[in-house]
């Protein structure tokens, strides 16, 4: 039995909370895309964690966590997270790292700065795009290389030679040496060397014998191919990309959970039709929702729920249920808007123009307005105890996507959840 937890917007939908809730029953939790650009928040036994690479299964002793080959892994960040979680748990999490996962090395972050994509795209500046580019250009270093120090040094030497020729004026690049890089990399990776393996084989076995959760990172609208290119991340973030990222064709994922925040947020640059840019509503959502990035601390851009974009995300993720998060944040809004269509050059359109980012930037949302509710709902545990206006709002979402609601989250803690 397999479950995928997938972001349906521009990331930060609350995937961490949902995965952490479900992981208790899982034998394996797999991260399959991205790297430390992700920031997944969960509250474990009262302690808040923002994880970047380690899947939510780490908090349960019987659950194996896998960093699959579709990821780009920063060993220094991994070490820090691993130590923090081990300290919290009083034991080390079970971890497997795919031998074919690519590594983020210090020069990937340096390159991102030199090339200016941090500012242009508004990236997390974690070296994600430059590491995936090295993978595609076949000059990447993979986790499996850590098991063969001489091979690692040969590959690093080739990569550093190229870099120094490309960036002769960069003192940061000039200061890199194979000796110190390999030494610090192997030191940071030391606790994980025995965990580097053929992760696909392990996942395949777990899929046969137990319960597996695939913990998505980012969201459908940040997908490299079907998101709002070029304002996207550099990996496949959807169910469509899962098979390739784990090396298993057509993985049977019976439960596909589309995680939807009750409104929309986006971090970084790029079009966002329902954004409440300088308006009071945007400020209210940011403050009530605590909308500041887990990875970078940046204020998130906030706006109304975009059902046009959500239908596009549903096509990419084929969800069997929608888990709605942060419904509590809408309490106290005088009215709530949703967008079911855009106006583009005077015409109404209902399809998301994902392949034409320039057009998305020109789209104006056509809103429908619903009454809000004043009641605090953080203590509600049954759907029928929600205010009628909140139930009506959930009904609009589920009707539009044609998929039932699974959980409704009304606060960051695991118990602040309505199970339908
Ligand atoms: P992820 O990247 O999808 O895991 O989401 P993030 O962790 O980046 O952002 C979600 C934020 O909302 C975190 O601070 C969570 O603790 C918080 N959160 C999750 N669910 C709820 C909820 O239902 N209500 C409120 N108020 N906060 C929530
Ligand atoms: P989680 O898993 C929100 C965004 C960045 C930027 C774009 C490209 O927590 O939902 P990158 O560093 O990946 O090259 O940046 O993607 N981005 C995210 N936004 N949540 C995330 O992850 C994100 N990961 C990347 O802000 O706009
Ligand atoms: Mg996040």
CA 49 – ligand 2 centroid, Å: 18
CA 233 – ligand 2 centroid, Å: 6
pLDDT (tens place) for every residue of the chain, 420 residues total: 999 999 999 999 999 999 999 999 999 999 999 999 999 999 999 999 999 999 999 999 999 999 999 999 999 999 999 999 999 999 999 999 999 999 999 999 999 999 998 889 999 999 999 999 999 999 999 999 999 999 999 999 999 999 999 999 999 999 999 999 999 999 999 999 999 999 999 999 999 999 999 999 999 999 999 999 999 999 999 999 999 999 999 999 999 999 999 999 999 999 999 999 877 788 999 999 999 987 788 899 999 999 999 999 999 999 999 999 999 999 999 999 999 999 999 999 999 997 787 899 999 999 999 999 999 999 999 999 999 999 999 999 999 999 999 999 999 999 999 998
In sequence order, what are the beta bridge partners of 342?
A: 349, 365
**Can you give the pLDDT at residue 323?**
98
CA atoms within 13 A on the CB side of 34: 33
Q: Residue of the nearest CA to atom 11 in ligand 1? A: 14
CA 13 – ligand 1 centroid, Å: 6
Counting from 1 in the atom list of ligand 2, the atom nearest the Cα of 34 is 13
In sequence order, what are the beta bridge partners of 418?
A: 408
- Residue of 17, 266, 408 with the most ligand 1 atoms within 8 Å of its CB, for mutation: 17
Query: How many Å apart are CA 117 and CA 133, to the nearest integer?
Result: 13
227 lines ligand 1 (CB under 6 A): no
- Give the ligand with the smallest distance to the CA of 217: 2
Q: Residue of the nearest CA to atom 3 in ligand 2? A: 11
Angle of helix 178-189 versus helix 75-89 axis, rounded to 10: 20
Q: Are 384 and 390 in contact (CB under 8 A)?
A: no
E strands along 182-291, which residues?
196-197, 212-215, 255-261, 264-266
Query: How many Å apart are CA 263 and CA 243, to the nearest integer?
Result: 30
Q: Are 182 and 149 in contact (CB under 8 A)?
A: yes
Counting from 1 in the atom list of ligand 1, the atom nearest the Cα of 43 is 16
Q: Are 370 and 392 in contact (CB under 8 A)?
A: yes
216 lines ligand 2 (CB under 6 A): no
CA 11 – ligand 3 centroid, Å: 6
298 to 17, 83, 227, 292: CA distances (angstroms): 20, 25, 21, 5
Q: Are 56 and 21 in contact (CB under 8 A)?
A: no
pTM assigned to the model: 0.97
**Can you give the pLDDT at residue 294?**
78
- Give the ligand with the smallest distance to the CA of 261: 1
Q: Which H helix or E strand runs over 86? A: helix 75-89
Q: Residue of the nearest CA to atom 13 in ligand 1? A: 41
Query: How many Å apart are CA 405 and CA 258, to the nearest integer?
Result: 9
- Give the ligand with the smallest distance to the CA of 265: 2
> CB-based burial of residue 172 (10 Å sphere; 0-12 exposed, 13-18 middle, 19+ buried)?
middle
| Domains along the chain with CATH numbers | 2-98+193-256 (3.40.440.10), 102-190 (1.10.300.10), 260-419 (3.90.170.10)
172 to 160, 163, 179: CA distances (angstroms): 12, 11, 16
Counting from 1 in the atom list of ligand 1, the atom nearest the Cα of 50 is 7
The pair of structure tokens assigned to 374 is 């004043």
Catalytic residue numbers read: 12, 40
């Amino acid at each position: 039995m397999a479950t995928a937890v997938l972001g349906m917007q521009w990331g930060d939908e609350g995937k961490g909370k949902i995965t952490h809730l479900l992981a208790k029953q899982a034998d394996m939790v797999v991260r399959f895309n991205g790297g430390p650009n992700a920031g997944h928040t969960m509250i474990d036994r009262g302690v808040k964690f923002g994880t970047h690479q380690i899947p939510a299964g780490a908090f349960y002793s019987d659950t194996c966590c896998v960093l699959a080959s579709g990821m780009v892994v920063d060993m220094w960040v991994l070490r820090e997270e691993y130590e923090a979680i081990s300290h919290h748990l009083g034991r080390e999490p079970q971890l497997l790292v795919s031998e074919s996962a690519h590594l983020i090395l210090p020069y990937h972050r340096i390159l991102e700065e030199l090339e200016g994509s941090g500012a242009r795209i508004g990236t997390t500046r974690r070296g994600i795009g430059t590491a995936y580019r090295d993978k595609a250009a076949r000059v990447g270093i993979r986790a499996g290389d850590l098991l063969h120090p001489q091979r690692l040094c040969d590959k690093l030497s080739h990569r550093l030679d190229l870099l120094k020729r490309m960036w002769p004026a960069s003192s940061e690049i000039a200061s890199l040496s194979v000796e110190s890089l390999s030494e610090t990399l192997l030191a940071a990776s030391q606790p994980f060397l025995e965990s580097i393996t053929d992760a696909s084989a392990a996942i395949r076995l777990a899929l046969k014998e137990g319960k597996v959760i695939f913990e998505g990172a980012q969201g459908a609208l940040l997908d490299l191919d079907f998101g709002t290119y070029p304002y996207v991340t550099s990996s496949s973030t959807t169910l469509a990309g899962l098979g390739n990222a784990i090396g298993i064709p057509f993985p049977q994922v019976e439960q596909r959970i589309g995680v939807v925040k009750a409104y929309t947020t986006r971090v970084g640059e790029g079009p966002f039709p329902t954004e409440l840019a300088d308006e009071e509503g945007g400020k209210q959502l940011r403050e009530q929702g605590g909308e500041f990035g887990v990875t970078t601390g940046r204020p998130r851009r906030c706006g109304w729920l975009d059902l046009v974009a959500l239908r596009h995300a549903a096509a990419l993720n084929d969800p069997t249920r929608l888990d709605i998060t942060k419904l509590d944040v809408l309490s106290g809004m005088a009215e709530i808007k949703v967008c079911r269509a855009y106006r583009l050059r005077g015409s109404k359109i209902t399809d998301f123009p994902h392949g034409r980012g320039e057009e998305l930037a020109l789209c104006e949302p056509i809103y429908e307005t619903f009454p809000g509710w004043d009641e605090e709902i953080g203590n509600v545990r049954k759907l029928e105890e929600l205010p009628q206006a909140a139930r009506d709002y959930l009904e609009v979402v589920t009707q539009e996507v044609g998929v039932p609601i699974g959980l409704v989250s009304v606060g960051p803690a695991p118990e602040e959840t309505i199970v339908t």
